Chains A and B, each alone.
Chain A
Amino acid sequence: MVAIIDYGVGNLFSLQSSFAAIGEKAVVTADPEVIAKADRLILPGVGAFEDAAKKLRESGMAEVVKREVKNGKPIMGICLGMQMLLDKSYEYGEHEGLGLIHGSVRPIADVIDPSLKIPHIGWNRLIVKKQSPLFKYLKDGDCVYFVHSYYAAECDDVTAVAEYSAELTASVERENVYGCQFHPEKSGDVGLKILKAFCEI
């Protein structure tokens, strides 16, 4: 069973539906007991880093997540959920993250060609940098759906990037901690296969 961590951020309807589509039971929950029983965790997130990180702490979910990760449970952060796995973010100030992946979250404006649009929105090709169990079913040229204005920088745990005049971090991995900047639940069959691969870890 997959526990989608509910800390009051974002719309989890599609995420839950996408697990149903691959025949995997997923519950949206903030119950530490349910989370403890789950085989794997999803840390979702949309919106602003500061607000989401605050809600994650105040709901007690930050501690629960850290404990489960320490126990070796696989976790996947998605979009802002991925960014929160990192040490810190420079989105409107400086804010502390979960510190499960080393690196910091910085504006894509720092690195991309100024003529390009922000956010980086749409389908872009995944360029694999390091093999990952998440990419078990991935084919060369597969595209996934992105919507973001910040990216994981100064990170040694990057497994894939997307090219947008600069290489933007698309996914990260350190031991049992996984993260996708893109939305697998909005990335068609490719996205579903990434979720399936996560469920097979």
Chain B
Amino acid sequence: MITKRIIPCLDVRNGRVVKGVNFEGLNDVASPVELAQYYSSCGADELVFYDITASAEGRALFTDILTETAKKVFIPLTVGGGINTVADFDRVLKCGADKVSVNSGAIRNPDLIGEAAKLYGDQCVVISADVKRVDGVFRVFAKGGRENTGMEAIGWIKRCVDNGAGEVVLNSIDTDGVKGGFDLEMLEAVSNAVSVPVIASGGAGKIEDFITLFKTLPKVDAGLAASIFHFGEVKIADLKAEMARNGIPTRV
């Protein structure tokens, strides 16, 4: 049986991890390379590197960091942030990324997903959607969740998958940062609409939130989180042990 994946997400700005606190045995928690190695050793199934740099210098630093990480960390690496063209895909794939996630880039240019999927394969293209309820309808937001595109989310995600996205990261703006659990209703709607893997993001605050997610929605393939891992509120080893104890297929 395929195991449920646990994915820490690292926001990187100017070559440094943005959030990060103290970890035992880690000298530099702001070093993406060190943090990635640490997570890999703790049992993370995959890593997401999110580039939140705006400058060209920062972007070059990011690819250096990615290259360094891919030399030392041997689990799948997904890269997102600032992916607007096929050339951006090429840039990060050459540095050792396995998958590339697109968000605003696909909203601006809906052909991007199809073009990238044709070149690199569906398995390489991840659609990441920031979704929020507006008057009871799931709407896609752009620009890091600041701008309502007006697009209905389920239709948008389906279209991206039809165009060749091989995986969906669903980030619920409604539950993000609240730490009250994943957005099960939104996740269920998306899981029922697509046949590719769905990664839940936004809302996890404790181990039980992941257990509830996988028990309630067996169709969801992975859980993604950032700060709760970075701040040590949830330890990946403990989380996976608890998943295994609950009969959820887990790589321990």
Contacts and interface: CB of A to CB of B under 8 A. Distances in A.
The answer to whether A binds B is yes
B98 interface: yes
Contact of A122 (B5, B40, B93, B252): B5
A183 to B, nearest CB: 8
A13 interface: yes
A124 B74 contact: no
B221 A11 contact: no
A60 to B, nearest CB: 25
Given A47-B121, A188-B40, A124 B3 contact: yes
* A contact face: mostly helix, strand, loop, or mixed: mixed
B148 interface: no
B121 A124 contact: no
Given A11-B94, A14-B96, A17-B96, A124 B75 contact: no
A186 interface: yes
A186 B121 contact: no
Contacts of A20: 71
B123 A121 contact: yes
Interface residues of A, number: 32
Contact of A17 (B71, B94, B121, B196): B71
Contacts of A21: 71-72, 74
B95 A188 contact: no
A111 to B, nearest CB: 15
Interface in A4-34: 11, 13-14, 17-18, 20-21
A46 B70 CA distance: 18
A99 interface: no
Given A14-B74, A17-B71, A164-B1, A143 B251 contact: yes
B2 interface: yes
Nearest to B221: A122
Nearest to A17: B71
Nearest to A16: B71
B82 interface: no
B166 interface: yes
B58 interface: no
B76 interface: yes
Interface residues of B, number: 30
B36 to A, nearest CB: 12
B197 A121 contact: yes
Given A11-B94, A13-B94, A123 B45 contact: yes
Contact of B2 (A11, A124, A185, A186): A124
Interface string B84-98: 000000000111101
Contacts of B74: 14, 17-18, 21, 185-189, 191-192
Contacts of A163: 1
Contacts of B93: 11
A117 B3 contact: no
Interface string A176-201: 00000000011111011000000000
A21 B70 CA distance: 11
B123 A119 contact: yes
Given A21-B74, A121-B123, A186 B98 contact: yes
Interface string B121-151: 1110000000000000000000000000000
Nearest to B252: A141
Given A21-B74, A192-B74, A46 B121 contact: yes
A2 to B, nearest CB: 16
B197 A117 contact: yes
Contacts of A62: none
Contacts of B195: 117-118
Interface in A117-165: 117-125, 141, 143, 145-147, 163-164
Given A187-B74, A188-B75, A119 B45 contact: no
Closest 7 CB pairs of A and B: A143-B251, A123-B251, A17-B71, A122-B2, A123-B3, A13-B96, A147-B123
17 contacts: A11-B94, A11-B96, A13-B70, A13-B94, A14-B70, A14-B96, A17-B72, A21-B72, A117-B221, A121-B167, A121-B197, A124-B2, A124-B3, A145-B75, A185-B74, A188-B40, A189-B74
